[in-house]
């Protein structure tokens, strides 16, 4: 059951993370919000508090290992334990390889890959010690299938898929009972496209999302479903998107 679970959410300041944070809080989870935009986190935590929920936040750059450790510490100090972490922070500055946007390649590797690794490294000692814990991560349909303009973005999301599946297997083999859930969204209307600087890639994506995009609340529903499963059960992968998107 979600009620009273302590859940850390990265990328909570907008889009999928924000929608998920709101839903989990409404269902009685104690939520710990992380992202870089403090104003958004503060406003969200205040709304949750006003509605009778429990939320704390911390400015978090997921590329910084110490800040990942600090948010786990905040969760423990505030609520006494950590039950789950939703590794959701990410960005998608898509472009063709030939554009050689090497700074953006680095940024995607740092946030989408290393950000997940730092989050896992920060929370694993807690989960291993308590022999339970739930690690959820946002990959993408671009982590299942190759798309033009997505050589690096898709690559980072393929990484998430592999990492999460191996983590699940090893946790089962080691008897730590740490569950994983990897979510592969298709077109979801958020601020994600704002990170695209390549005009061709931006136009293509904006056309696609204008036609098919659905609410981030649909991903929040899936995260809530995963967190509601009984302790002895895991659903490891969810591909979720607009019914109309081919
Ligand atoms: P948004 O741009 O709305 O949200 C991205 C979130 O990531 C923001 O909260 C942002 O917060 C946070 N973030 C970015 N960089 C960092 C960082 N260095 N440290 C901490 N937080 C960071 O887009 P979405 O909600 O769509 O994106 C959420 C996840 O979903 C991403 O991993 C994305 O790749 C994935 N996804 C989205 C799809 C879609 O169609 N929208 C499809 C498939 C996957 P801040 O700027 O405040 O730090």
Q: 35 CB under 6 A from ligand 1? A: yes
Q: How far apart are CA 235 and CA 179, in angstroms?
A: 9
Nearest in space to 32 (alpha carbons), one of 91, 82, 89, 69? 82
What pTM was computed for the model?
Answer: 0.98
* Ligand 1 near 89 CB (within 6 A): yes
* Contact yes or no for 216/191 (Cβ under 8 A): no
Phi, psi of 110 (to 5 degrees): -65, -45
Residue 183 pLDDT: 98
Among candidates 179, 180, 185, 203, which has minimal Cα distance to 193?
Answer: 203
Q: Which of 50, 21, 49, 48 is nearest to 35 (CA)?
A: 21
pLDDT at 235: 96
Compute, in angstroms, the gap from residue 34 CA to the centroid of ligand 1: 11
- CATH at residue 82: 3.40.50.720
| 149 CB within 6 A, ligand 1 | no
Q: Determine the structural domain holding residue 198 and report its residue range.
A: 6-240
Q: 153, exposed or middle or buried, with CB in 10 Å at 0-12, 13-18, 19+? A: buried
Which residue from 15, 19, 153, 160 has its CB within 8 A of the most atoms of ligand 1, so it is best to mutate?
15
CA–CA separation, 215 and 226 (whole Å): 18
Count of domains for the chain: 1
Q: What's the confidence (pLDDT) of residue 15? A: 98
The length of the chain in residues reads 246
Q: Does any domain span residue 246? A: no
Along the 246 residues of the chain, how does pLDDT read in single tens digits? Answer: 899 999 999 999 999 999 999 999 999 999 999 999 999 999 999 999 999 999 999 999 999 999 999 999 999 999 999 999 999 999 999 999 999 999 999 999 999 999 999 999 999 999 999 999 999 999 999 999 999 999 999 999 999 999 999 999 999 999 998 999 999 999 999 999 999 999 999 999 999 999 999 999 999 999 999 999 999 999 999 999 999 999
Residue 102 within a domain: yes
**Torsion angle of C-alpha atoms 19, 24, 25, 28, degrees rounded to 10:** 160
Give the DSSP H/E element, type plus range, for residue 84. strand 84-87
Please pick, among 57, 147, 153, 209, the residue that the annotation labels catalytic.
153
Ligand 1 centroid – CA 17 distance (Å): 7
Give the residue from 77, 180, 80 showing the smallest Cα distance to 124: 180
Task: For residue 232, report the distance from its CA to the centre of ligand 1, in Å.
Answer: 30
- Pairing type for strands 237-240 and 133-138 reads unpaired
- Distance of alpha carbon 234 from alpha carbon 141, whole angstroms: 20
Clarify whether 57 is annotated catalytic. no
Q: How many CB atoms lie within 10 A of CB 132?
A: 16
| pLDDT for the residue numbered 94 | 98
Nearest-CA residue for ligand 1 atom 45 is 36
Residue 245 lies in a domain: no
How far does the centroid of ligand 1 lie from the alpha carbon of residue 93, in Å? Answer: 11
Residue 220 maps to a domain: yes
């Amino acid at each position: 059951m979600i009620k009273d679970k302590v859940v850390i959410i990265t990328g909570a300041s907008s889009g999928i993370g924000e929608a998920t944070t709101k839903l989990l809080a409404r269902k009685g989870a104690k939520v710990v919000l992380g992202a870089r935009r403090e104003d958004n986190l503060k406003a969200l935590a205040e709304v949750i508090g006003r509605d009778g929920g429990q939320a704390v936040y911390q400015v978090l750059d997921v590329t910084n290992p110490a800040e990942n450790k600090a948010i786990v510490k905040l969760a423990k100090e505030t609520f006494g334990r950590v039950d789950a972490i939703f590794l959701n922070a990410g960005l998608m500055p898509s472009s063709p390889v030939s554009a050689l946007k090497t700074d953006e390649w680095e940024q995607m590797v740092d946030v989408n890959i290393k950000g997940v690794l730092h989050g896992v490294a920060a929370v694993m000692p807690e989960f291993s010690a308590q022999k339970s814990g739930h690690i959820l991560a946002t990959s993408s349909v671009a982590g299942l299938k190759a798309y033009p303009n997505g050589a690096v973005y898709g690559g980072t999301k393929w990484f998430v898929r592999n990492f999460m599946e191996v983590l699940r297997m090893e946790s089962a083999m080691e008897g730590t009972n740490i569950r994983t859930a990897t979510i592969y969204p298709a077109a979801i209307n958020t601020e994600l496209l704002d990170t695209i600087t390549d005009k061709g890639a931006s136009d293509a994506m904006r056309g696609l999302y204008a036609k098919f995009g659905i609410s981030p609340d649909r991903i929040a529903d899936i995260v809530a479903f995963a967190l509601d499963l009984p302790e002895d059960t895991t659903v490891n992968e969810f591909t979720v998107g607009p019914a109309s998107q081919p």
